[in-house]
């Protein structure tokens, strides 16, 4: 066996007919198995190989999927602890993520933070029992009988849904506790050596506010206390940087009760901030030879039928019944409308590639339970673009897009990692188009990033319904990973819209379509930036770039002159001529994270200067007003 740095262990010469767990050394770090290569199915360590060379890999805690399985088992551990402490509590579902899990639980009264220590103590006690975790296959009837006896009414509803889909039913046992689950899981509870219940929130069953509100208990789990301590420190820093908290404190955006949930309102400072992103995007797209287009927010329902969205994405579309007896769809994506713009004129191969770009606001019916500040919204403004080209032009165009991705993310201080995440069609995924074209598209995307020296991480079943995609992720100032840019390759939608170009042979051909967004969405990217910079934006992005602070009222006329000069140069400046003491004014500007404070007293006014203070760096000395204006102008232009 060989351990890779990503937490994957390559496994060889497994004895057929013997469970893998019985073939591993006692100190093995393997938590779960991946069967069938990258993107393959995850199975328990109880898996029995059929051949000695079966394609198996062992995943450790360091592998994201191994980590998620660890959290999943911790969610079951918490559920067992709660059932032992409060037997009348009813369990619903508990999806895991990397370094985090939660479980939605129905209990009256709802859980409170002062109950967390009791839950943690019980979890540690159960983990100390080192209970084997065993998978049990059940018929639907047997599962109903089992969970009906336990009074788990939510599980009965889930069992009915599973049976309606024609899927098999399975559960996992650990001691006297049983939970409905598809798995996989850790082999035993004793591997969980550090746990923390971190928070509780309200959550509606199925994310529907018409249903009963449940307690959503969040937690983290680790194989040792040292890892958990480091993670909790990271969580504390992340809480300070939470974009929702900073958005309120800095006066950037709001989600009032009177508005639609998931559709933010931007206050002037937030609007200035997003305007910088949008202006930057427009400027860069023109520089990279994209042609601007604009398409309406509402289009006929038939358009979404042609594109395939009606069959594959309808649950996310807002539909409108108008008084002209027509039905319209509020656009969740711009690609069909861009196809109409392309189709409007005839095209020759000499015209290609054609690159359309649009800062397009689209709308998606996300479940209310999934909404999260700016990071998950229902109103999404994408820096959207679609490239129509020939197959021969694909390698060059795709490489240009990756170059563009690296440049844009680099301008905001991010570096694209050594990995590219390739989303492939899953075996049971409902998609459109010729399977052969899917294989071709997947191969093209993989070859592009591999030739650039990037490692390809495949994610099976995560493709868009019309084509595979590559996602690029970045690491922020405190080490968290965020998914940003995406590139999708589409052989299908141009065919569905009858798009053509005249080739060199005089015949009609179908172009290939590249969908791409570099920010991903303005709202999400803005949320990421707020947390990355902790609200302390570089000068060119800052909503307020400088604030003039007058010490006494008799220097106010000079302070107003400075304010006017800054504004005339396009610098976003404010004047604080209030009677407050200068120390208070400086502290207020620091708390509002304003990059430059220009202090004006009697001496500065007499000399035609200002005392310059830089956020986080303190006093920078006095300088002539024109010199300061020039300094700020240069720094803004450099996007430092």
Name the residues annotated as catalytic: 335, 364, 382, 384, 386, 469, 515
> Taking a C-beta distance cutoff of 8 angstroms, is the pair 110, 215 a contact?
yes
| Closest-CA residue to 263 (of 228, 221, 297) | 297
Residue 174 in contact with residue 133, Cβ under 8 Å? yes
Which has the closest alpha carbon to 66: 101, 102, 31? Answer: 31
Q: Mapping DSSP to helix (H, G, I), strand (E, B) and coil, where does residue 365 land?
A: coil
User: What SS3 class is residue 78?
Assistant: helix
Gyration radius of the chain's alpha carbons? 28
Name the residue with tokens 């065919």.
495
To 10 degrees, the CA torsion angle through 110, 115, 119, 120?
A: 140
For helices 435-451 and 394-411, give the axis angle rounded to 10 degrees: 50
DSSP 8-state secondary structure symbol assigned to residue 464: B
Distance CA 341, CA 295 (A): 9
Would you call the peptide bond into 119 cis, given omega within 30 degrees of 0 as the criterion? Answer: no
C-beta neighbour count of 23 within 10 angstroms: 14
The single residue listed with the structure tokens 């859980």 is 111
- Dihedral (Cα; 294, 298, 300, 306), 10-degree rounding: 60
Number of Cβ atoms within 10 Å of the Cβ of 410? 12
Give the separation between CA 210 and CA 216, rounded to whole angstroms. Answer: 17
* CA neighbor of 184 nearest in space, from 55, 75, 64, 33: 33
In terms of C-beta density within 10 A (0-12 exposed, 13-18 middle, 19 or more buried), how is residue 110 classed?
Answer: middle
Terminal-residue alpha carbon distance, the chain:
47
Are 156 and 162 in contact, with CB atoms under 8 Å apart?
Answer: no
Peptide bond before residue 184 is cis, with ω within 30 degrees of 0:
yes
Beta-sheet strand order (sheet of 177-180):
134-138, 169-174, 177-180
586: phi then psi, degrees, rounded to nearest 5: -65, -45
The DSSP element (H or E) to which 194 belongs, if any, is strand 194-204
CA-closest candidate to residue 174, choices 86, 72, 304: 72
Quick check: 12 and 1 in contact, CB under 8 A? yes
d(CA 223, CA 237): 22
Three-state DSSP state, 198: strand
Q: Crossing angle, helix 225-241 and helix 522-533, to 10 degrees?
A: 110
> What is the C-alpha separation between 514 and 214, in angstroms, rounded?
42
Beta bridge partners of 170: 137
Phi, psi dihedrals of residue 520, rounded to the nearest 5°: 95, -70
Measured CA to CA, the distance from residue 289 to residue 571 in angstroms comes to 29
Are 154 and 214 in contact by the 8 Å Cβ rule? The answer is no
């Amino acid at each position: 066996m060989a351990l890779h740095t990503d937490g994957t262990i390559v496994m060889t010469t497994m004895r057929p007919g013997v469970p893998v767990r019985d073939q591993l050394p006692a100190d093995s770090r393997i938590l779960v198995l991946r069967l069938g290569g990258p993107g393959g199915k995850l199975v328990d360590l109880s898996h029995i190989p059929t051949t000695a060379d079966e394609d198996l890999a062992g995943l450790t805690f360091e592998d994201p999927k191994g980590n998620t399985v660890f959290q999943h088992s911790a969610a079951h551990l918490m559920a067992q602890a709660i059932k032992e402490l409060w037997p009348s509590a009813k369990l619903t579902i508990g999806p895991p993520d990397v370094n985090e899990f939660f479980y939605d639980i129905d209990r009256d009264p709802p859980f409170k933070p002062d109950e967390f220590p009791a839950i943690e103590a019980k979890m540690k006690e159960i983990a100390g029992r080192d209970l084997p975790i065993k998978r049990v296959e059940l018929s639907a009837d047997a599962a109903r009988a089992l969970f009906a006896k336990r009074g788990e009414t939510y599980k009965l509803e889930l069992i009915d849904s599973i049976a309606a889909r024609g899927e098999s039913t399975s559960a996992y046992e650990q001691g006297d506790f049983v939970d409905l689950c598809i798995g996989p899981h850790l082999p035993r509870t004793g591997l969980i050596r550090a746990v923390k219940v971190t928070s509780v929130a309200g959550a509606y069953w199925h994310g529907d506010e018409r249903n009963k509100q449940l307690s959503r208990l969040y937690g983290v789990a680790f194989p040792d206390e040292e890892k958990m301590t480091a993670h909790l420190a990271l969580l504390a820093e992340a809480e300070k940087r939470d974009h929702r908290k900073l958005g309120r404190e800095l006066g950037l955006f709001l989600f009032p009760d009177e508005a639609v949930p998931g559709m933010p309102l931007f206050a002037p400072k937030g609007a200035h901030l997003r305007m910088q992103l949008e202006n930057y995007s427009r400027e860069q797209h023109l520089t990279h030879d994209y042609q601007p287009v604009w398409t309406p927010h509402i289009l006929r329902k038939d358009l979404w039928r042609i594109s395939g969205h009606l069959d594959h994405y309808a649950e996310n579309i807002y539909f409108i019944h108008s008084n002209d007896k027509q039905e319209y769809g509020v656009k969740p994506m711009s690609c069909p409308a861009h196809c109409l713009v392309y189709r409007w004129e005839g095209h020759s191969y000499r015209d290609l590639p054609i690159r359309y770009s649009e800062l397009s606001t689209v709308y998606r019916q996300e479940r209310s339970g999934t909404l999260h500040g700016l990071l998950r919204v229902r109103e999404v403004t994408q820096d959207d673009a679609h490239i129509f080209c020939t197959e021969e032009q694909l390698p060059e165009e795709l490489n240009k897009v990756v170059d563009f991705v690296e440049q844009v993310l680099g301008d905001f201080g991010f570096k694209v990692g050594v990995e590219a995440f390739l989303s492939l069609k899953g075996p049971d995924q409902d998609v459109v188009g010729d399977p052969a074209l899917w294989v071709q598209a997947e191969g093209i995307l993989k070859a592009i990033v591999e030739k650039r020296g990037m490692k390809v991480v495949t994610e099976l079943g995560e493709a868009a319904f019309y084509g595979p995609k590559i996602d690029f992720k970045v690491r922020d100032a405190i080490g968290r990973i965020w998914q940003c840019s995406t590139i999708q390759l589409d052989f299908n939608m141009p065919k569905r819209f009858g798009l053509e170009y005249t080739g060199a042979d005089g015949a009609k051909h179908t172009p290939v379509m590249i969908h791409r967004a570099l920010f991903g969405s303005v709202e999400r990217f803005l949320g990421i930036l707020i947390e990355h910079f902790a609200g302390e934006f570089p000068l060119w992005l800052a909503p307020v770039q400088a604030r003039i602070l007058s010490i006494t009222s008799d220097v106010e006329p000079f302070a107003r002159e400075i304010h006017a000069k800054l504004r005339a140069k396009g610098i976003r400046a404010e004047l604080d001529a209030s009677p407050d003491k200068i120390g208070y004014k400086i502290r207020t500007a620091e708390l509002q994270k304003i990059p430059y404070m220009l202090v004006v007293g009697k001496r500065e006014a007499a000399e035609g200067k200002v005392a310059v203070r830089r956020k986080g760096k303190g006093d920078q000395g006095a300088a002539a007003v024109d010199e300061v204006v020039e300094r700020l102008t240069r720094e803004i232009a450099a996007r430092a």
